[in-house]
Structure formats: structure tokens, C-alpha cells
């Protein structure tokens, strides 16, 4: 067993090195467009994993992600925009203290954004986590919208609909992937810990879990807050990635987009969320071609059909959902031993090459 | 400032908006009753109905009653089709999959509408019979403001009759109560669910016609706001309960109108009212005002 | 089955990689909302760009190729759309409608050092702190001030404001309007009501507005359709006073949705078709009418002018070098466009007169007033 573990460890290190090499290559040689998409992939991984924690592993049907992202994004923006730019930016009403004179390093701002988001999750969770299923979903969705409406109206804090711009673009490829990797490792460890097993027990059967002595509200709350923390960090990265934010960035559809990734990858599968984050982010960009002219299709309008890519994207999404009803991965994970079994199965020309469920 | 005229005016406005919400909320609640599904595509079906009316009247110059009938039928069929293609195959899948499928259908319809109809807003055809403004002293009432509550009430009565008195209605109730048991009892699940979607979507069609005549604008994204508000209304009243949906719709309509009328300074927060009320109600009564006991399926 | 499907999906994702297009052309990016909430604005500007491209298809002896990037009316999507335009090798960018989207695109264009020019984004923040963005329209502080002076000139003592709270344009315009109005004795804003772009029912807001018995209602909206709905609903509640609003009202939807209710409404705009500003005006109008068979909205002619201004800048730069184009663009002075003469200030905003127009009973608009800066 230790031998297997050792070789897994070795393989993981090799993979990590390969990843770092690939990222360095992309960062150095690829066009800024590719770099931008690559960064977005990492941010979506963070967001998807944070949602998967509540949805997939704890079974809390929360739709408040956009709100938590907004908290993180606005915190990072307000704490990192240079003071001089803030003065010109807040044209309609001046920014209130202490933000008008305060700037912090990106990392600190990110952390504070996450913490604020988690604190808010605590306040929202107190009433909401007592609700069940769809009721919880609509209540969290409601809070997410309320956050957005407050942001729109709080002119002297958020600059209202004007939004914020000139957010330093610190979130380069290393920040994004560093955090994504940290979150990945953190969630993996968390899930295999006793706390993670308790969460899964709650997901499978609340009553049974409670009778086993698991504190329902406590565990749910911690999971909810952790998820909000990560969503806040993801939102902060997102703000630095776009460079400009406004209330319109955090509409409910942002939550749906992340939900799509999570469900497509498989609820309760970490590898699934990661793979789906790449597929959805890159796929959506690839389809951009459909909006433009397609010279090889004679019936296609010369200037292209704007919006066609989203039509095709939604059809692809539906196909994936309909044919992979548990997502691409279900509850399964990609592990070295699973890959090894797969390879030996292929080598042995055995017909039954299914990857065994492995959590 | 608040003389009798203004009070009467505010109340009629509230009643008219509330009954519109109610009409659309019924569709949500019916679908939820049988499938436990938040049908996110409901708002988009509502939107498509408005475009059908536009093309029927403005382009093909059909008389309004023909257009309305066609619209309601096509809308109902569209809703049923969505169920057949995107929801039925997922009936035994995790509930979240079917929910994302609904989001997918909603995205698809919205984007398709953008491609086909263009992103520019269109004007909803005006039919003087419905859209004239009547004056009672200083109170101005859109004729629709009187028609909508009546239509909602009539449709609600018909629906209650259908659910309580007919075999189909009994089947619906059975499916809503217990899915598996109903199918064991020989109830045709597919047929019952299809009928539910047919009726729910037809109501969205009726709602769309009324909404369009009242607010005169069509755009591919127009379904989103009524969609979310009416869904809140359905949950507020107790989702799965038809009378609850109507109550919820009326409540949201009244709350929005009355609070804004009393405190215009709060108007920027208007969309938050519905959510705040919903959250408060859910905390006191976790299944909504008229909702029964939770039937969490294990 | 699943494998075949997965394979097809993968192929579907892979296949749209297009072959390289002919290199002989100069690419200009069109950065506009073609879908989403402000798609109407994008559609109008696209007409203008396309028409200009038809009439003036080349620069520096090469063909100009317009490359479209749909920013989906979404700031997050806008940065990707902008970056994809840059990736396609555009040497300059035109657009976007809606200031928030231009701001988002500006972050990318500044980083990539691509000169960008917006036709109608009037919010001051667009060109502020962005050394690669210019515009050929006036900015909101100027427009808001002029609207306030218009109200004063017409003796509208009691003014009610309907403000689209989630539109950066609408909120800014109201602020500048109020700032200027405060300088005039005897004029007051009796009510400010907020709504969101998604809102459709204005009856409660209008109830509050009408209770204050205003002489005029100022509709500050992101697009004409919202103003149209307000007008229609206000008339249905018995309001008989006047309406006015900013340049977003200059769109065909104002009359098509409001109908009779829009009669008498006054809005600001950039030019007036009945008073040909330059020799290029009639050329534009003839071409537009014969191509689209209708009257152009202001955004169309502004987009047309933006194209011509950019083309002129490239011509004057004499090369496709980004620095040279930016320098030439920012130095634009006295350039004769179809909607008037364009001169950019040191903040790369245009200095131009504001035109007031009034909607007639048949939906046409007539010239009402013009104020020089």
C-alpha cells in the first residue's frame, strides 16, 4: 500500500511539474487571449469547487454564489485600487472612509474579501440553513439578489451602477493557478477528513447523520461558510481578472454558469468540477467562431449570426445533461490507481474496462 | 397627498399587477407540484408567447382572437415539448440535473429568440378593446386592470374544478402526493405530467398576452423578471398549492406597489422587497403560507 | 453510445478553428453588444459601421475588414470579447454602445495598446485614466448641464425624475442635471424615483411622481424603450405634462412602443437630419435610406462617423502602427463627419453642440433647439 502511495505521490509531483512547465510556456509564448482564457479556467475551478463543496458534498442546495463573489470582488477592488484613481472614479459621491485612503496588497485584500464573504454567509446561514431543499435555494438566491441591489444603491461605497475600474490586474496566471491548486488540495483533504465524511453523511441522509451524533447545523454552517469564503476569493480573483466590475457582473446568471460547471462535471466529484471548468470555459470561447462569418457554409450570412454561439452552447449543455445524467464523472474521481487499472485493463484487452467507482 | 383618489388608484394598480403575477405563478406551482421542479424555462416560454402575438397581429394581421388562441395553443405545446425532450429523460436522475436542464432550456430559448427575433425591443400590438383607459372621477383605470383579475379568477376556478373534480385532476393530485405510488396505481405518469405542463404553459401564454398589452414591450430577456417574481410568489404562497400561488402573486403585487407608493425614496430597493418578504415568511412558515407539510422524498 | 457522443462533442469543439484569412486587409474590431440587454444599441451602431464600410471600404490602399466581437452586454464577457478582437489582429477598435461595456473593453485595449473609439458612450469614466480610448460624442456632465438649462429655459419649475438606477449612464446624467439645476433659483426637483432596467410596471412610481404635480418628467434611461413605457403608463394615469430625456431616447423604439404618448417628448441628440451639418450628411442619408428604407437614429450616424474618424486617423498616421494611429486619432481636429465637425479635447472627448429634438404626433422628430458648447 505504501508503495502505491509513494508512486502516486511521485506521479502527482511529476504532473505538478508538467503543469508548471505548461503554464510557464503559456505565460511566455501564447497570445494574451489564450493567457486570459487560461486564467479564467483557474478562476472557474475555484468557483466550481467552492460550489461543489456545498452542493455536491454537503447536499445544501444553495444558489447564492454570485452574491458571495460580489462581496469578494468589491472588497478586493476597494482595497487595491490606487487612492488617486479612487478620487477620480467616485465622481458622483465621494468614497467613504476608510476605503478612500486605504490600499492593501492583493493577497491581503483577497483574504479579507473571503473572510467578509464567510462572515456574511454566517449571517445568511443562520436563518437559511434551517430551510430545506428548494426553499433554501430560493432563499439564498434571494440574498444574492439583495446583495446586488444594495450594491447598486450604495453609491458612496460601491460607486453604484457606475462600477469600479482600474482594479490592478495582479491576478496573473500564477496567482490564479496557485490559488486554484491550493483550493483543490484543500478540498481534497477536507473531503477525506472526518469532517468531510460527516458532510457526505448529511448529504446522503440528514436524519441518519443526526442520529449518528453529527451536528447538522454546525456542519452545514461550516461548509456553507467555507464555500462562501472560497467564492469570495474567487470573486476577488475575478475582479482583478476583469479589471472593472459593476453590479451587473453579479447577476443570478453567474450562479447558474457555475452551477452548470458543477453539474456537468458531476456533483460531488472534484476532478469533474476541474475538467468541466476547462471544458465549459474553453468551449464557450471556441464557439465564438459561430458568431462570425463561416465561409465554408454557403447559407451562412456574410457577417455571421450574433448570438449563435450561445444557442449552440445551450444545446451542447442540454445534450451533456441528458446523456450524462450524473455529470461527466458522477461521484467518481480521477486517481492514479484508477488510471492504472484502466491502463492495465487496456493492456490486458479486457472488455470490461470501466473505471471503478472511487471516492 | 394621500387622498381617496390616490388610495383607490394605488389599490387598483396593485390588484392588476398582483393578479398578473398570480396568473404566471400558477404555472410554476403546478409544475412543481407534479415534478418537484423549479421550471426555470417558464419565463422564457412566457417570452416566446409575446413574440407569437407580435408576429400574429403585426405581421400576419390576424384578428386578435385568432392570434390569442393560436398563441395559447403554441405556448402550451412548447411547454409540453420542453418537458418531453428535456425533463422526461431525466425523471429518475438527480433533481439537480433536471434543474440544470431547465436552466439549459431557458438559455436556449432566450438565445434562440435573440438570434431569430433580434435583440431590439418590439412593441406589443395594442388592442383598443383591452387597452383603453377608463376614468372614474380622477381614478384612471386601464381596462386591462379590470380584465386581468377577472381572467385570473375565472381561470383559477376552472383549475380548481379540474383538479378537484375530474379524473385528470385526481391523477395530478396523486402524482403530486406520491410519484411512485401513483404510477403503481395505474396512473399514466407521462400523460398526467404532460397535461400539467400543457395547462401551466397555456397559463403562461395568457399571462404573456395580458402582460404585453399592459406593458407594451417585447424583448428576448423580458421573461426573466416576471419569471423570478412569479416563482417567488409561488414559493411564498406554498409551492404546489394553486390557491397559494394566487395569494402569493397578489401579495407580491400589493407589497411592491404599496411600499413604493408610501416610500418613493425606497424605490431603488423595490426588487428586494419580494425577497425579503419571502425570506421572512419562510422563516415563520418554512413551506410557504398555504403550503402543507414538507414531503421531502427520501 | 456515450463514447461516440463524447467524441462528437470534442470534434464539435475542435472543428471551428478557421484557416487564416487573407493578410492583405486591415482589420478594425467592432466591439458591440449584439446580444443581451443593450443589444438594440449594438444593432443600431452596427448599421452605421457596415454602411460606412460599404461606402469607404479601404484605407492606405488596403481593404478594411470589420471584425465583430459580441460583448453580450456583460462586463465580464466584454473583456474576453475585447481580448479575442486583439487576438484576431485588429489594429483599432470601434464601440461600444453603453459606457460600462466600453470601460471593461478599455481595460484590455489599454493593456494591449490598441486605439479604441466609441461613438456614443457618454459616461466620463470611459476615457478617464484610459490613454487608449477616445470618443466622438459629448460627455454626460455637458449633456446633463444642457438638459438642466433646457428645463430652466422652458420654465419647468417643478421637475420629477425617473432614474434607471442600474444604468451608469442614467445615474450620472441625473447627477449632473441636479448639480446644474441647483444653480438656478426657483427650480426644484420634486421627486426622484428609481427603477431597475428589468422593471416593467411603473404605476406606483408614477403615482408618487404625479402626486408631486410636476411640470415635466425627466426620464433618465439606458435605452428608449424604458422611457417609452414610462410615457405610456404616465399618460394612462392621466398625466398631461411634458417629458424630456437624454440622447438614449433618440431611437425608433421611443415612438414604436410609446405611440401617441411620446408626442411632445424632447430629447438631446448629436445631430439633426433636417439641417444637414456637412456635405457628408446627405451622402450618408441617401445611402442609409436606400439600404435600410427608414430614417436613421442618432447612434447610426455616430457609428458611421466613428468609422470615418478612425479611418481618417489611420490615413493621417500613414501606417498601421498603434502609437501613430493613437496620436493621429487624439489629434483629430475639425474632421468633417456626417453628423458634424469632430474635434477631440485633451481628454480625448469630442466637443460638439447638443441638439434638442421633439417627437411629433406621427412619430417623426423635429429640430427644437441647439446649444453650442
pLDDT digits (tens, 9 = 90+) for B195-244: 999 999 999 999 999 999 999 999 999 998 898 899 999 999 988 888 99
- At C115 the pLDDT is 95
In this complex, the residue of C199, C229, C237 whose CB is nearest that of residue B216 is C229
CA angle in degrees (0–180, nearest 5) for A235-A239-A243: 170
Q: Could you give the CA distance from residue A309 to residue B114 in angstroms, rounded to a whole number?
A: 11
Q: What is the pLDDT of residue A353?
A: 40
CA distance C325 to chain B (A): 33
Q: For residues A143 and A117, is the Cβ–Cβ distance under 8 A? A: no
Phi, psi of B50, deg, nearest 5 = -65, -40
Cα–Cα distance measured from residue C66 to residue C49, given in angstroms and rounded to the nearest whole number? 8
Indicate if the pLDDT at residue B294 is higher than 80: no
Q: Do C165 and A286 touch (CB under 8 A)?
A: no
Alpha helices in chain A (DSSP H): 2-29, 32-52, 65-80, 83-89, 106-128, 133-153, 155-158, 173-192, 194-204, 206-211, 216-242, 252-265, 270-286, 308-323, 336-347
Find residues 95-154 of chain C whose CB sits inside 8 Å of chain A. Answer: 100, 103-104, 106-108, 111-112, 123-125, 128-129
Which residues, other chains included, contact B63 with Cβ-Cβ below 8 Å and sequence gap of 6+?
none
Which CATH number is associated with domain C141-269+355-371? 3.40.50.2300
Cell 447523520 sits at which residue? A209
pLDDT digits (tens, 9 = 90+) for A148-170: 999 999 999 999 998 998 899 99
Q: Which contiguous run of DSSP H or E holds residue B217?
A: strand B217-218
Chains A, C: CB contacts within 8 A come to 142
Q: Structural domain boundaries of chain A?
A: 9-292+303-328
pLDDT at C305: 94
Q: Of A206, A189, A238, A204, which Cα lies nearest the Cα of A46?
A: A238
Q: Smallest Cα–Cα separation from B114: which of B44, B205, B201? A: B44
Q: Chains that contact A by 3+ CB pairs under 8 Å?
A: B, C
Q: How many CB pairs under 8 A join B and C?
A: 112
Task: Provide the pLDDT for residue C4.
Answer: 60
> Quick check: C5 contacting A, CB < 8 Å?
yes
Q: What's the gap between Cα C259 and its chain centre?
A: 23
- Chain C residues inside the 8 Å CB shell of A89: 125, 128-129
- Mean pLDDT, range C176-202, rounded to an integer: 93
| Interface-testing mutation among C38, C51, C68, C84, with chain A (most A C-beta atoms within 10 A) | C84
At C6 the pLDDT is 58
Cα–Cα distance, A262 to A59 (Å, whole number): 13
Q: How distant is the Cα of A59 from the closest Cα of chain C, in angstroms?
A: 27
Beta-carbon separation of B123 and C257 below 8 A? yes
Per-residue pLDDT at A356 exceeds 70:
no
Chain A residues lying within 8 Å of C84, measured CB to CB: 33, 285, 288
- Is the pLDDT at A139 greater than 80? The verdict is yes
**Smallest CA–CA separation between C270 and chain A, in Å?**
23
Interface test with B, best of C208, C231, C238, C253 (most B CBs within 10 A): C208
Query: Among partner residues B94, B105, B269, which is closest to A326 by beta-carbon distance?
Result: B94
Q: How many other C-beta atoms can be found within 10 angstroms of the C-beta atom of residue A100?
A: 14
Q: Cβ–Cβ of C75/A304 closer than 8 Å?
A: no
SS (H, E, C) A183-234: HHHHHHHHHHCHHHHHHHHHHHCHHHHHHCCCCHHHHHHHHHHHHHHHHHHH
User: CATH assignment of A9-292+303-328, given 1.10.3470, 2.60.120, 1.10.10, 3.30.1820?
Assistant: 1.10.3470
Q: What does the pLDDT read at residue B293?
A: 59
Phi-psi category of residue A133: left, alpha or beta, with phi > 0 → left and psi -120 to 50 → alpha: left
Q: Do C253 and B121 touch (CB under 8 A)?
A: yes
Shortest distance, CA B259 to any CA of chain C (angstroms): 9
Q: What's the rounded mean pLDDT across residues B277-288?
A: 89
Q: Is a pLDDT exceeding 50 seen at residue C151? A: yes
- In this predicted structure, the answer to whether residue A292 has a pLDDT above a threshold of 80 is no
Residue C18 above 50 pLDDT? no
Cell numbers given for A98:
476608510
Chain B environment of A308 (Cβ under 8 Å): 115
pLDDT band at C339 (very low <50, low <70, confident <90, very high): confident
Evaluate if residue C16 carries a pLDDT over 60: no
How much of chain C, in percent, has pLDDT values that exceed 70? 92
Q: Distance between CA C21 and CA A290 in Å, rounded?
A: 16
For the ranges A106-120, A304-318, C234-248, C333-347, the maximum mean pLDDT occurs at A106-120
How far is B242 from chain C, CA to nearest CA, in Å?
Answer: 24
Task: Give the nearest partner residue to B9 out of C39, C42, C207, using CB atoms.
Answer: C207
Q: Which residue has the higher pLDDT, B132 or B192?
A: B192
In this prediction, residue A352 carries a pLDDT of: 46
**Chain C residues close to A152, C-beta within 8 Å:** 165-166, 196
And the C-alpha cell for C354? 447638443
Do residues B16 and B148 touch, judged by C-beta distance below 8 A?
yes
Give the mean pLDDT of chain A.
89
Q: Compare all CA atoms of chain B with the CA of A141 and give the residue at the minimum distance.
A: B275
**Residue B94: its chain A contacts at CB < 8 A?**
267, 325-326
Indicate the helix (H) or strand (E) that contains B112.
Answer: helix B95-117
Q: Which residue of A has its CA nearest to B268?
A: A153
**pLDDT band, residue B58 (cuts 50/70/90):** confident
Separation CA C176–CA A92 (nearest Å): 8
- What is the predicted pLDDT for the residue at C14? 46
Q: How far apart are the first and last CA of chain C?
A: 69
Res. A63 pLDDT band, cuts 50 70 90: very high
Alpha helices in chain C (DSSP H): 2-14, 39-55, 75-87, 99-112, 140-153, 168-181, 203-211, 224-236, 253-258, 279-292, 298-317, 322-330
Over 60: is that where the pLDDT of B117 sits? yes
- Cα separation, C30 vs B197, in Å, equals 43
Residues of A with CB under 8 A from a CB of B: 55, 61, 127-128, 130-135, 137-139, 142-143, 145-146, 149-150, 152-153, 205, 252, 256, 259-260, 263-264, 267, 305-308, 310-311, 313-315, 317-318, 321-322, 325-327
pLDDT range class, residue C213, cuts 50, 70, 90:
very high
pLDDT digits (tens, 9 = 90+) for A214-270: 888 999 999 999 999 999 999 999 999 999 999 999 999 899 999 999 999 998 899
Least CB–CB distance from A318: residue in B36, B108, B275:
B108
> Each residue of A174-204: pLDDT tens digit?
999 999 999 999 999 999 999 999 999 999 8
pLDDT at C341: 87
Average pLDDT of the segment spanning C65-90: 91
Please, which pLDDT band fits residue C145 given cuts at 50, 70 and 90? very high
Q: Are the beta carbons of C35 and A32 separated by less than 8 Å?
A: no
Mean pLDDT score across all residues of chain C:
88
CATH of B4-284, one of 1.10.1760, 1.10.3470, 1.10.1060, 2.40.128: 1.10.3470
For residue B100, give the nearest of A135, A152, A321 by CB distance.
A321
In this predicted model, what pLDDT tens digit does every residue of C311-328 receive, in sequence order? 999 999 998 899 999 999
Find out whether the peptide bond into C96 is cis, omega within 30 degrees of 0.
yes
At which residue does the C-alpha cell 413605457 appear? C229
Give the per-residue pLDDT at A212.
86
Predicted confidence at residue C244, as pLDDT, reads 95
C164 and C196 Cβ atoms separated by less than 8 Å? yes
* pLDDT value, residue B37: 87
| Closest listed residue to residue C138, CA positions, set C157, C124, C148 | C124
**Quick one: CATH architecture of C22-138+278-342?**
3-Layer(aba) Sandwich (3.40)
- Per-residue pLDDT, C277: 67
Higher pLDDT, C295 or A48: A48
C20: pLDDT strictly greater than 50: no
Q: Supply the pLDDT for residue A167.
A: 92
Most confident of A107-121, A156-170, A322-336, C297-311: A107-121
How far does the CA of residue C338 sit from the closest CA of chain A (Å)? 24
Instruction: Nearest by CB to B120, from C43, C195, C196: name it.
Output: C43
Rounded to 5 degrees, what angle do the CA atoms B236, B193, B222 make?
50
A328 pLDDT higher than 70: yes
* CB-CB under 8 Å, B272 with A149: yes
Integer-rounded Cα radius of gyration of chain B = 19
* Amino acid C373: pLDDT: 77
Q: Which of A99, A36, A98 is nearest to C85 (CA)?
A: A36
The whole-angstrom distance between A89's CA and the closest CA on chain B is: 22
Higher local confidence (pLDDT), A296 or C192 = C192
Asked if C225 and B224 come within 8 Å (Cβ–Cβ), the reply is: no
The pLDDT of residue C2 = 56
Dihedral angle, C-alpha A343, A348, A349, A355, nearest 10 °: -40
Residue indicated by cell numbers 493557478: A177
State whether residue C267 is helix, strand or coil: strand
Residue B298 has pLDDT above 60, yes or no: no
In angstroms, rounded to a whole number, what is the distance separating the alpha carbons of residues A174 and B188? 57
User: For chain C, what are the domain ranges?
Assistant: 22-138+278-342, 141-269+355-371
Q: Which of C13, C68, C103 sits opposite A286 (nearest CB)?
A: C13
C169 Cβ neighbours under 8 A, 6+ residues apart: C98, C99, C122, C123, C140, C220, C222, C246, C248
Amino acid at each position: 500500500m505504501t508503495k502505491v502511495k509513494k508512486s502516486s505521490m511521485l506521479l502527482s509531483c511529476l504532473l505538478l511539474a508538467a503543469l508548471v512547465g505548461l503554464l510557464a510556456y503559456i505565460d511566455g509564448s501564447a497570445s494574451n487571449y489564450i493567457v486570459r482564457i487560461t486564467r479564467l479556467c483557474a478562476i472557474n475551478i475555484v468557483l466550481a469547487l467552492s460550489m461543489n463543496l456545498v452542493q455536491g458534498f454537503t447536499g445544501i442546495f444553495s444558489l447564492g454564489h454570485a452574491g458571495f463573489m460580489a462581496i469578494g470582488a468589491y472588497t478586493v477592488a476597494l482595497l487595491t485600487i490606487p487612492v488617486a484613481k479612487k478620487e477620480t472614479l467616485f465622481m458622483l459621491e465621494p468614497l467613504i472612509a476608510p476605503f478612500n485612503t486605504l490600499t492593501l496588497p492583493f493577497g491581503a485584500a483577497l483574504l479579507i474579501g473571503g473572510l467578509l464573504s464567510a462572515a456574511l454567509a454566517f449571517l445568511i446561514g443562520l436563518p437559511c440553513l434551517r430551510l430545506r431543499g428548494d426553499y433554501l435555494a430560493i432563499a439564498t438566491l434571494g440574498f444574492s439578489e439583495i446583495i446586488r441591489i444594495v450594491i447598486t444603491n450604495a453609491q458612496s461605497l460601491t460607486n453604484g451602477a457606475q462600477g469600479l475600474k482600474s482594479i490592478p490586474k495582479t491576478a496573473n496566471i500564477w496567482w490564479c493557478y496557485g490559488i486554484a491548486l491550493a483550493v483543490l488540495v484543500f478540498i481534497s483533504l477536507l473531503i477525506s477528513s472526518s469532517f468531510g465524511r460527516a458532510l457526505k453523511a448529511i448529504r446522503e441522509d440528514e436524519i441518519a447523520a443526526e442520529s449518528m451524533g453529527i451536528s447538522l447545523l454546525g456542519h452545514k454552517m461550516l461548509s456553507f461558510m467555507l464555500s462562501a469564503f472560497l467564492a469570495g476569493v474567487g470573486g476577488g480573483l475575478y475582479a482583478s481578472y476583469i479589471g472593472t466590475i459593476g453590479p451587473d457582473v453579479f447577476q443570478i446568471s453567474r450562479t447558474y454558469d457555475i452551477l452548470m460547471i458543477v453539474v456537468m462535471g458531476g456533483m460531488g466529484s472534484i476532478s469533474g468540477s476541474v475538467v468541466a471548468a476547462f471544458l465549459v470555459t474553453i468551449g464557450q470561447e471556441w464557439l465564438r467562431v459561430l458568431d462570425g462569418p463561416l465561409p465554408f457554409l454557403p447559407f451562412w450570412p456574410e457577417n455571421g449570426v450574433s448570438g449563435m454561439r450561445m444557442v449552440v452552447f445551450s444545446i451542447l449543455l442540454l445534450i451533456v445533461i441528458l446523456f450524462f445524467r450524473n455529470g461527466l464523472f458522477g461521484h467518481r474521481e480521477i486517481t492514479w490507481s484508477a488510471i492504472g487499472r484502466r491502463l492495465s485493463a487496456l493492456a490486458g484487452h479486457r472488455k470490461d474496462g470501466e473505471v471503478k467507482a472511487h471516492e | 397627498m394621500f387622498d381617496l383618489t390616490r388610495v383607490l388608484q394605488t389599490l387598483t394598480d396593485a390588484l392588476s399587477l398582483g393578479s398578473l403575477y398570480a396568473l404566471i405563478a400558477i404555472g410554476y406551482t403546478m409544475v412543481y407540484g407534479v415534478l418537484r421542479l423549479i421550471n426555470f424555462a417558464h419565463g422564457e416560454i412566457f417570452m416566446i408567447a409575446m413574440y407569437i402575438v407580435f408576429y400574429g397581429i403585426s405581421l400576419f394581421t390576424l384578428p386578435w382572437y385568432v392570434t390569442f388562441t393560436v398563441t395559447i395553443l403554441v405556448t402550451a405545446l412548447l411547454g409540453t415539448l420542453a418537458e418531453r425532450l428535456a425533463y422526461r429523460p431525466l425523471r429518475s436522475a438527480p433533481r439537480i440535473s433536471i434543474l440544470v436542464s431547465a436552466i439549459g432550456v431557458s438559455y436556449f430559448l432566450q438565445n434562440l429568440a435573440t438570434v431569430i427575433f433580434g435583440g431590439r425591443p418590439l412593441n406589443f400590438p395594442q388592442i383598443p378593446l383591452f387597452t383603453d383607459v377608463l376614468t372614474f372621477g380622477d381614478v384612471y383605470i386601464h381596462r386591462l386592470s379590470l380584465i386581468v383579475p377577472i381572467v385570473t379568477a375565472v381561470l383559477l376556478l376552472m383549475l380548481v374544478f379540474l383538479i378537484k373534480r375530474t379524473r385528470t385532476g385526481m391523477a395530478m393530485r396523486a402524482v403530486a402526493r406520491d410519484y411512485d405510488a401513483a404510477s403503481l396505481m395505474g396512473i399514466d405518469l407521462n400523460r398526467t405530467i404532460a397535461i400539467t405542463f400543457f395547462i401551466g404553459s397555456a397559463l403562461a401564454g395568457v399571462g404573456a398576452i395580458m402582460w404585453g398589452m399592459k406593458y407594451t414591450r417585447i424583448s428576448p430577456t423580458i421573461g426573466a423578471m416576471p419569471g423570478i417574481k412569479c416563482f417567488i410568489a409561488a414559493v411564498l404562497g406554498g409551492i404546489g398549492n394553486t390557491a397559494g400561488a394566487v395569494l402569493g402573486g397578489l401579495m407580491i403585487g400589493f407589497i411592491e406597489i404599496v411600499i413604493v407608493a408610501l416610500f418613493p425614496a425606497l424605490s431603488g430597493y423595490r426588487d428586494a422587497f419580494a425577497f425579503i418578504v419571502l425570506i421572512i415568511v419562510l422563516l415563520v412558515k418554512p413551506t410557504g403560507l398555504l403550503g402543507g407539510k414538507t414531503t421531502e422524498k427520501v | 453510445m456515450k463514447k461516440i457522443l463524447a467524441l462528437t462533442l470534442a470534434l464539435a469543439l475542435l472543428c471551428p478553428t478557421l484557416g487564416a484569412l487573407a493578410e492583405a486587409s486591415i482589420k478594425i474590431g467592432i466591439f458591440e453588444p449584439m446580444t443581451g440587454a443593450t443589444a438594440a444599441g449594438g444593432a443600431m451602431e452596427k448599421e452605421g459601421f457596415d454602411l460606412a464600410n460599404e461606402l469607404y471600404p479601404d484605407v492606405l490602399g488596403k481593404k478594411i475588414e470589420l471584425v465583430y466581437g459580441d460583448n453580450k452586454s456583460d462586463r465580464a464577457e466584454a473583456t474576453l470579447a475585447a481580448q479575442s478582437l486583439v487576438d484576431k489582429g485588429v489594429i483599432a477598435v470601434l464601440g461600444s454602445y453603453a459606457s460600462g461595456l466600453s470601460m471593461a473593453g478599455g481595460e484590455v485595449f489599454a493593456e494591449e495598446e490598441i486605439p479604441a473609439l466609441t461613438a456614443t458612450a457618454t459616461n466620463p469614466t470611459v476615457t478617464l485614466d484610459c490613454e487608449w480610448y477616445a470618443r466622438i460624442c459629448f460627455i454626460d456632465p455637458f449633456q446633463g448641464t444642457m438638459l438642466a438649462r433646457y428645463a430652466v429655459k422652458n420654465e419647468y419649475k417643478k421637475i420629477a425624475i425617473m432614474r434607471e438606477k442600474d444604468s451608469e449612464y442614467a445615474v450620472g446624467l441625473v447627477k449632473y442635471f441636479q448639480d446644474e439645476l441647483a444653480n438656478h433659483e426657483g427650480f426644484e426637483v420634486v421627486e426622484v424615483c428609481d427603477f431597475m432596467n428589468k422593471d416593467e410596471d411603473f404605476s406606483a412610481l408614477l403615482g408618487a411622481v404625479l402626486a408631486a404635480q410636476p411640470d415635466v418628467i425627466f426620464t433618465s434611461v439606458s435605452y428608449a424603450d424604458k422611457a417609452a413605457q414610462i410615457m405610456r403608463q404616465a399618460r394612462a394615469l392621466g398625466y398631461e405634462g411634458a417629458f424630456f430625456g437624454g440622447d438614449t431616447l433618440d431611437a425608433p423604439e421611443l415612438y414604436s412602443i410609446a405611440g401617441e404618448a411620446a408626442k411632445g417628448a424632447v430629447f438631446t441628440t448629436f445631430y439633426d437630419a433636417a439641417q444637414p451639418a456637412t456635405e457628408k450628411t446627405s451622402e450618408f442619408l441617401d445611402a442609409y435610406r436606400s439600404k435600410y428604407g427608414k430614417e436613421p437614429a442618432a447612434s447610426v450616424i455616430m457609428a458611421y462617423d466613428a468609422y470615418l474618424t478612425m479611418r481618417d486617423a489611420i490615413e493621417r498616421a500613414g501606417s498601421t502602427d498603434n502609437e501613430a494611429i493613437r496620436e493621429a486619432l487624439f489629434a483629430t481636429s475639425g474632421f468633417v463627419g456626417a453628423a458634424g465637425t469632430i474635434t477631440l479635447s485633451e481628454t480625448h472627448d469630442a466637443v460638439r453642440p447638443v441638439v434638442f429634438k421633439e417627437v411629433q404626433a406621427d412619430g417623426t422628430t423635429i429640430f427644437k433647439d441647439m446649444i453650442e458648447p
